[in-house]
Chain A
């Protein structure tokens, strides 16, 4: 079966711009989680969506938002980009019915803000 697909793989944006990242989960998976990985902070949880509802949210400013569509695909949006937003953004999908179901990760989107 197809894995978790993240697009685009690489992105360069200018400070102040906004960006939208996409994540297509494994077919049948209803939960999508987003994570930010930076050299200084490691991996940090952004938010998790299940059946189009945000089920949990990490400690990120309101510039970071997301949504999930009826087909479980998810998008993450960052507005008013800052240099510190440069990071690898990973999404993970899981069946989602209970918290302990396994995760499958996408390859990530590497965002560079200049």
Chain B
């Protein structure tokens, strides 16, 4: 079993829909990251969480430390949100990565 599990693996939605991507982990962590990777490889850090909830524009990230679970939400999704979203947990100075969720938003 992987230490970081993401779901769904693939997600296709219509523009304007509310998107939720989930991340569960099984190791002790000091922080959890949500990252975005566009075709071509560049990775952008969206959020770093150790508790509670963070919001940036249309993106919201939450974490429940007791349940070892985090969610990334996108409100009013747009085609430019199409990317791979990756959850990574920081454990003992290293990032352990989820497999990513490939999101496609259709106009």
Contact = CB atoms under 8 A, between A and B. Distances in A.
Interface stretch (B16-24, B55-63, B68-76, B96-104): B96-104
Contacts, number: 60
Contacts of A56: 92-94
User: In which size bucket is the chain A interface?
Assistant: 20 to 34
Interface stretch (A21-29, A60-68, A74-82, A99-107): A99-107
Interface of A, secondary structure class, is strand
A64 B30 CA distance: 27
Interface residues of B, number: 23
A99 B41 contact: no
Contacts of A58: 94
Nearest to B100: A42
B97 A100 contact: no
B94 A45 contact: yes
Interface of A: 33, 35, 37, 42-45, 48, 50, 55-56, 58, 88, 90, 92, 98-100, 102-105, 107-108, 110
